[in-house]
Amino acid sequence: MSVVVCENLYKIYKSGEIEVVALQDLSLHVDKSEIRAIVGPSGSGKTTLINIIGGIDKPNAGRVIVDGMDITKFSEKELLNYRRRRVGIVFQFFNLIPTLTAFENVELPMVLAGVPREARKQRVRELLRLVGLEARADHRPDQLSGGEQQRVAIASALANDSPLILADEPTGELDTVTGRQIAELFRRLRDELGKTIIIVTHDVSIARISDRISRILDGRIIATITPAELELAEIAPTRTQETITKLEDRRQQILRELNRIEEEFRDKKIDAETFTKRFNELKSKLKAIEDELAKYTV
C-alpha cells in the first residue's frame, strides 16, 4: 500500500512578471517502509517536491495523500501538527542551530512537540547512540565534521519518531565513506524501524540501498527504476561507447588499406584486376561498418 501518494501536482512560483513552473503534473507513489531515491538535475523540482510532501509548501494544484489523509486540505493548525509528529525532514542546507549543542539540536523538535523533559533526555541519548554520536553530545555544529553534523540532523529528524522521513541531499557535501555510513543508517531505519524514507540524492551508495529510484526532469517524474536497472543503464552507455570505438578503429583501418592499394595501383605494384577486386571488397566492408556506426549516432 502506498503511504505517500502525490497526484498531479503543479507548483508555480511567481516573482513579479516571471513565472517558474517548478512541478508540472507530477505523480508519485511511495510504499510503506520503502526507501525512494529522487534524482534529477539542479532546478528540476526536487526540493519543491520535498517541501510539499513535508507540509512546508503548498501545491497550486494536485493532492498529497499521506497515510490516507489529504495534507493539501489541512488547516494551518493541522499542518503544524503534521510537521511536528508525522514527518521528519533533513533539509538540503542549514539543518542545525549553530548556538545549540548536538544534544540540544536533537532535543528541539521534542521541546516543540511538548514531550516531557525526562522522556526527551532519554530519547536524545538513544538517538545519538543510533547515529553513533554519544561522545559528541556537547559539541556545537562548528565543532563537528560535515558527516557528524548530517548525522545529528538525521537524529533530529527522527526525534518525534515520525513514520515518514524526508531527506534532501543528506550526503551532498560528504566524502564517499561518510556517504556510505549515512546510507547504512537509512537502510537500518527502514529495515529495523520500518520508516518510509524519501531521499533526494546524487550519491550512488544511497541509490544502491534504495528500493526504487525516480528521476525527475522539468518538474515531472520521467522514470522510476530499481537500483539493478540503474546499474544496467550505467553499463549500457559504456558498452555502446566501446562498440563505437571498435567500429571507428576498423573503419580507419579500411580507409588506410584503401589508400594503400590506390598507391600500389598508381605505382603499378598491382594490376587493374587485383586493384578492382580489392577495392570492391574493401568498399563493401566499409559500407557495412558505416551502416553499423549509423545505428549508434542519432
Ligand X SMILES: Nc1ncnc2c1ncn2[C@@H]1O[C@H](COP(=O)(O)OP(=O)(O)OP(=O)(O)O)[C@@H](O)[C@H]1O
Shortest CB 147 distance to ligand X, Å: 20
| Site string (66-105) toward ligand X, x via CB under 6 A | --------------------------x-------------
Of positions 36, 48, 153, 195, contacts ligand X by CB under 6 A: 48
Cross-strand pairs, 200: 38, 168
| Cell 534504495, located at residue | 210
**Least CB distance to ligand X at residue 141 (A):** 21
Quick check: 214 binds ligand X (CB under 6 A)?
A: no
How many chain residues interact with ligand X (CB under 6 A)?
13
In the list 29, 44, 47, 136, the residue contacting Mg ion (rule: CB under 5 A) is: 47
Burial track 240-250 (b if 16+ CB lie within 10 A, e otherwise): eeeeeeebeeb
**According to the binding rule CB under 6 A, does residue 15 interact with ligand X?**
yes
Question: How many amino acids of this chain bind Mg ion (CB under 5 A)?
Answer: 3
| Residue span binding ligand X (CB under 6 A) among the ranges 36-44, 159-167, 183-191, 234-242 | 36-44
Q: How far is CA 145 from the centre of its chain?
A: 23
- End-to-end Cα, the chain, rounded Å: 41
The only residue of 43, 99, 235, 266 in contact with ligand X, by rule CB under 6 A: 43
Could you tell me which stretch among 42-50, 83-91, 99-107, 229-237 binds Mg ion (CB under 5 A)? 42-50
Q: Per DSSP, what are the bridge partners of residue 165?
A: 88, 197
d(CA 16, CA 256): 63
Nearer to ligand X, 40 or 59 (CB): 40
Q: Counting contacts by CB under 6 A, is residue 196 touching ligand X?
A: no
Residue 48 beta carbon to Mg ion: minimum distance, rounded to whole angstroms: 8
In three-state form (DSSP H/G/I as H, E/B as E, the rest C), the secondary structure along 19-65 is EEEEEEEEEEEEECCCEEEEECCCCCCHHHHHHHHCCCCCCCEEEEE
Nearer to Mg ion among residue 217 and residue 236 (C-beta): 217
**Which of helix, strand or coil describes residue 120?**
helix
Q: Is 42 in the site for ligand X (CB under 6 A)?
A: yes
Residue located via cell numbers 501518494? 5
Grid cell listed for 233: 543503464
Shortest gap between Cβ of 88 and ligand X (angstroms)?
19
Rounded to the nearest 5 percent, the helix, strand and coil shares of the chain are: 50, 20, 25
Q: Which residues bind ligand X (CB under 6 A)?
A: 13, 15, 20, 22, 40, 42-48, 92
Q: Which residues bind Mg ion (CB under 5 A)?
A: 46-47, 92
